[in-house]
């Protein structure tokens, strides 16, 4: 019997997490202004958020075997709910860094736990469903950002801008925990004990996650800068590239599970890498408003379902889903953080357009080896289960 209630509950957690991150994103400028932070000071604070996530992600992979993936997801959802509004009350930069370290840790640990739980549900479902969870996260991010903008328009301060969405997040997490945030399948507590080096297939999946999320982070930070420089247009026009990327990614994740079922996971990864590379080639080779829209739509369509497929494969390639997901997610998050400064560093030597060609190369690497890596992970899983 398929775990329908468990899937709905986990979808609610993904939605809640995305909603919170979207609400936080639109409050960053107001918190910066309230504390009179310079750009560099804000960068330090945001680095603390990332540092907390990177430290917590590997540790979160060990919580599921001990507490169960459902219970761990519920507990970490509560931690995220508690930590989300704290930045609005920080009176200075040191305390802002501290609370962002806590928020980043809660968010990173929840990311690993809910993806590991989703992977366990997918195994019981016996059909690809991981993209639906990531579609819920994307939808939450878009609606959270839109809700945050409305809250600002209604005249609430930064505290209200985080507390009001947090009330909705808390209700979702409690409802999910009461409904069905419980373990599915066999709880592999013994299998997760001790230390073991990850196998080659899991290392390849982690490397692919690094490349894909490196591209995503670089697009988020540099697409508008590039378009504004080459098009010589106002910022609102330059931002159209990332908007096209974000909306196409969210839309494609809605049908991602159908794509994986019909085409196969390895084809989705290989084709996705090809689409992303084609989009970058179009944007960098013929930059104008229309090619920017079409090109970044292709990049969004290409990348949309690669990370869900990688997380799903990683969850099947380790002692427990959470352990595998924690490795892939940590590598991916590191890529998301490393991508933007690498592009900036390269742009200082060869110019922004040539530096962005690194993203085209990354997409081509995913296209060339990604499908094979996903297939080999599936083969290693079948061999392990047959022993």
Q: Is the pLDDT of residue 384 over 50?
A: no
Q: Rounded to an integer, what distance in angstroms lies between the CA atom of residue 125 and that of residue 199?
A: 26
Nearest in space to 84 (alpha carbons), one of 93, 76, 92: 76
**19-33, 92-106, 133-147, 363-377: which has the highest mean pLDDT?**
92-106
The reported pLDDT for the residue numbered 198 is 61
Q: Which ranges of the chain does DSSP label H, i.e. alpha helix?
A: 4-34, 39-60, 63-67, 69-83, 93-125, 130-153, 158-180, 200-231, 235-238, 240-254, 256-263, 265-285, 289-303, 306-315, 321-350, 352-386
Among 178-192, 285-299, 334-348, the least confident range: 178-192
The answer on pLDDT for 381 being more than 90 is no
Of residues 140 and 190, more confidence is placed in 140
pLDDT tens-digit readout, 59-109: 887 777 777 788 889 999 999 999 999 999 999 999 999 999 999 999 999
How far does the chain reach from its first CA to its final CA, in angstroms? Answer: 25
Average pLDDT, the chain: 86
pTM: 0.82
- The DSSP annotation for 220-248 comes to HHHHHHHHHHHH---HHHHTHHHHHHHHH
Phi-psi region of 198 (alpha: psi -120 to 50; beta: other; left: phi over 0): beta
In sequence order, the 6+-apart residues with CB closer than 8 A to the CB of 86 are 99, 102, 103
What distance in Å separates the CA atoms of residue 13 and residue 19, rounded to the nearest whole number? 10
* Res 223: pLDDT: 82
**Backbone φ and ψ of 385, nearest 5°:** -75, -20
Is 277:364 a contact under the CB 8 Å cutoff? yes
pLDDT interval class at 193 (50, 70, 90): very low
CB 82 within 8 A of CB 99: no
CB 28 within 8 A of CB 148: no
Q: What is the pLDDT of residues 125-143, one digit of tens each?
A: 888 899 999 999 988 988 8
State residue 383's pLDDT score: 38
Q: Of all residues in the chain, what percent carry a pLDDT higher than 70?
A: 91
What is residue 319's DSSP assignment? S
Domains of the chain are 4-180 (1.20.1250.20), 200-386 (1.20.1250.20)
> pLDDT band at residue 195, thresholds of 50, 70 and 90?
very low
Q: Give whole-number Cα distances, 355 to 119, 228, 273, 296, 360, in Å.
A: 36, 16, 19, 17, 10
């Amino acid at each position: 019997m398929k775990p329908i209630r468990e899937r709905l509950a986990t979808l609610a957690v993904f939605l809640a997490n995305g909603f919170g991150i979207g609400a936080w994103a639109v409050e960053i400028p107001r918190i910066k202004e309230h504390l009179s932070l310079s750009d560099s000071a804000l960068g330090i604070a945001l680095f603390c958020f990332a540092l907390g996530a990177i430290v917590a992600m590997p540790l979160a992979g060990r919580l599921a075997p001990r507490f169960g993936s459902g219970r761990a997801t519920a507990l970490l959802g509560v931690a995220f709910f508690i930590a989300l509004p704290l930045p609005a009350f920080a009176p200075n930069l040191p305390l802002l860094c501290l609370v962002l370290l806590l928020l980043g840790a809660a968010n990173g640990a929840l990311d690993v736990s809910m993806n590991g739980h989703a992977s366990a549900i997918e195994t019981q479902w016996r059909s690809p469903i991981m993209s639906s969870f990531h579609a819920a996260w994307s939808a939450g991010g878009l609606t959270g950002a839109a809700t945050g903008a409305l809250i600002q328009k209604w005249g609430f301060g930064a505290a209200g801008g985080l507390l009001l969405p947090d009330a909705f997040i808390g209700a979702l997490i409690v409802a999910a925990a009461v409904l069905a945030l419980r373990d599915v399948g066999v709880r592999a507590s013994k299998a997760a004990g001790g230390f073991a080096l990850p196998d080659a297939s899991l290392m390849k999946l982690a490397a692919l996650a690094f490349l894909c999320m490196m591209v995503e982070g670089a697009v988020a930070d540099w697409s508008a800068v590039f378009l504004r420089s080459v098009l010589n247009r106002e910022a609102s026009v330059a931002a159209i590239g990332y908007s096209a990327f974000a909306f196409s990614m969210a839309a494609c994740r809605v049908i991602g599970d159908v794509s994986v079922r019909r085409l196969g996971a390895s084809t989705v990864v290989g084709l996705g890498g090809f689409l992303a590379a084609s989009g970058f080639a179009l944007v960098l080779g013929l930059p104008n408003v229309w090619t920017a829209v079409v090109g970044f739509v292709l990049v969004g369509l290409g990348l949309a379902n690669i990370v869900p497929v990688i997380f799903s494969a990683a969850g099947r390639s380790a002692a427990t889903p959470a352990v595998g997901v924690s490795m892939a997610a940590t590598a991916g998050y590191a890529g998301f953080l490393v991508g933007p400064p690498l592009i900036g560093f390269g742009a200082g030597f060869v110019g922004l357009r040539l530096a962005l060609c690194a993203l085209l190369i990354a997409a081509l690497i995913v296209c060339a080896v990604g499908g094979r890596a996903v297939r080999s992970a599936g083969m290693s899983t079948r061999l392990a289960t047959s022993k």
